[in-house]
Structure 1
Amino acid sequence: MDLAQVPLFRELAAEDLKALVAEAQVRRLSKGELLFLEGESVRGLFVVRKGLIKVYKLDPEGRKQVVLHTEGPGRVLAEVALFLERPTYPASAEAMEESEVWAIPKDRFFQLVEARPPLARALLRYLARRQGQLLHLLDRLVFHEVRERLAEFLLERLEAEGQGFRLPTNPDLAALLGTVPEAVSRNLGELYRRGLIRLSGRQVEVPDPEALRALIR
């Protein structure tokens, strides 16, 4: 994937995109490596180039993780934190597998936004979409059953990565779906027995996406 394929930048003119590419640096992360830690000063904007990054918070005792969302190729991280009055990361981000991100330094990104109005407009549109997605996530956690939330997660990953995408571990997936690992295991098993998914280790295929989508109310 290159920056021209990232939804945030897809509509930029070639000149604006070239200026952005000149500032982006590729950072490689091993599985389990931190991208940033909650409370650290914001260094810049990150775009996932390869792999999967989870964004999470710890409970007050610093033990239990609450996964807020996961981001795959083409998705942006820390875009809201850039504009906070006190620019520190409100959550932590960690690679769930070997990953690569583009890192765009904060000061340079602000200069580009101020100098290139199309980039500013694209950023506003992206932030509006993200707000809608977060409201949808809240609705899903409050009103949907675990099976429905799992089906929706699988369809989202299928759309983002195609067939044969890799699942997070059951504890990570449970934290993301607001449930427990046992419920994740039970529901994955049910979907597998019904032929709605195929599993090979942690690799997943969805033979009939519409049949899986029918589970979601």
Structure 2
Amino acid sequence: MDLGQVPLFRELAPEDLRALAAEARVRRLSKGEPLFLEGEPVRGLFVVGKGLIKVYKLDPEGRKQVVLHVEGPGRFLAEVALFLERPTYPASAEALEESEVLALPKERFFQLLEERPQLARSLIRYLARRQERLLHLLDRPVFHEVRERLCEFLLERLAEEGQGFRLPTNPELAALLGTVPEAVSRNLGELYRRGLIRLRGRRVEVPDPGALESLVKR
């Protein structure tokens, strides 16, 4: 995996990228294998290299999952948990498909932050963008219809991963969009019938992104 293509690291100098790469360790996960569990001590920062990782919490009875977000290649996991006063994972994460992640040990990552100010500045900007995106996500269930939220999600995934990106399951996608699986299925079917998306199993292609974007109110 080219760390220079990861959003957090794009502005780093080549020597900084080499320093990070020297510390990273590849971890391979099979479908359904946990990456970390809620309450475990934070071991480090994770970067998704391949596949999809689901972050979720269980209900008080420990049965029903609430999906918080799904991250694909180039995205981070546990970047906020690193800085908690008591650094334990606030949620659990597992692979939705065969995946690879790069693990950056916590202590070494903190050392690199102190040694390389550009990395620290990049991290602050990245976290600020994530907060802005979170606020946007919180607004969407109130001010946008399900179809618009679904179109926004599809366009975001297209921009991040390119054509042929993988969809989460309908229940997982419903949790992300603040709706129910039936509404997700109905709207995906409508977009498919109108030719706005192509589906190959859970893989999605968007032949005309502009047409899909026109369904999103600005």
TM-score, structure 1 as length reference? 0.97
Separation of aligned partners in 1, 2:141 and 2:215? 16
- Compute the displacement of 1:209 (Å): 0.6
The one-letter code sitting in structure 2 at the alignment partner of 1:183 is A
Separation of aligned partners in 2, 1:161 and 1:144? 24
Q: Any idea what the Cα deviations from partners look like across 1:21-44, whole Å, max 9, x if unmatched?
A: 110001011111111111111000
Separation of aligned partners in 2, 1:39 and 1:178? 25
- Compute the displacement of 1:153 (Å): 1.0
Q: Runs of at least 4 residues of structure 1 off by over 3 A?
A: none
- Compute the displacement of 1:199 (Å): 1.3
Separation of aligned partners in 2, 1:199 and 1:105? 38
Residue 188 of structure 2 corresponds to 188
Residue 113 of structure 1 corresponds to 113
Q: Which moves more between the two structures, 87-96 or 59-68?
A: 59-68
- Compute the displacement of 1:14 (Å): 1.1
Structure 2: 5+ residue runs without aligned partners? none
Q: Any idea what the Cα deviations from partners look like across 1:118-164, whole Å, max 9, x if unmatched?
A: 11111111111111011111111222111111111111111111111
Alignment partner of 1:206 is 2:206: yes
Q: Any idea what the Cα deviations from partners look like across 1:1-58, whole Å, max 9, x if unmatched?
A: 4111101011111111111111000101111111111111100000011111111111
Separation of aligned partners in 1, 2:201 and 2:55? 24
Residue 69 of structure 1 corresponds to 69
- After superposition, residues 156-195 of structure 1 pair within 5 angstroms as 156-195=156-195
Separation of aligned partners in 2, 1:63 and 1:181? 18
Answer whether contact 1:65 1:175 (CA < 8 A) is retained.
no
Q: Any idea what the Cα deviations from partners look like across 1:162-202, whole Å, max 9, x if unmatched?
A: 11112111122112212221111111111111111111222
Separation of aligned partners in 2, 1:128 and 1:204? 29
- After superposition, residues 17-166 of structure 1 pair within 5 angstroms as 17-166=17-166
Separation of aligned partners in 2, 1:120 and 1:103? 18
Superposed CA RMSD: 1.0
Q: Any idea what the Cα deviations from partners look like across 1:86-121, whole Å, max 9, x if unmatched?
A: 101111111111111100010111111111111111
TM-score, structure 2 as length reference? 0.96
The one-letter code sitting in structure 1 at the alignment partner of 2:138 is L
The one-letter code sitting in structure 2 at the alignment partner of 1:19 is A
Separation of aligned partners in 2, 1:41 and 1:184? 35
Change (3 A) 1:32 1:39: same
3-state SS of the aligned residue for 2:60?
coil
The one-letter code sitting in structure 1 at the alignment partner of 2:119 is L
Separation of aligned partners in 2, 1:55 and 1:196? 29
3-state SS of the aligned residue for 1:103?
strand
Separation of aligned partners in 2, 1:58 and 1:140? 23
Answer whether contact 1:11 1:122 (CA < 8 A) is retained.
yes
Answer whether contact 1:36 1:89 (CA < 8 A) is retained.
yes
3-state SS of the aligned residue for 1:97?
coil
- Compute the displacement of 1:68 (Å): 1.2
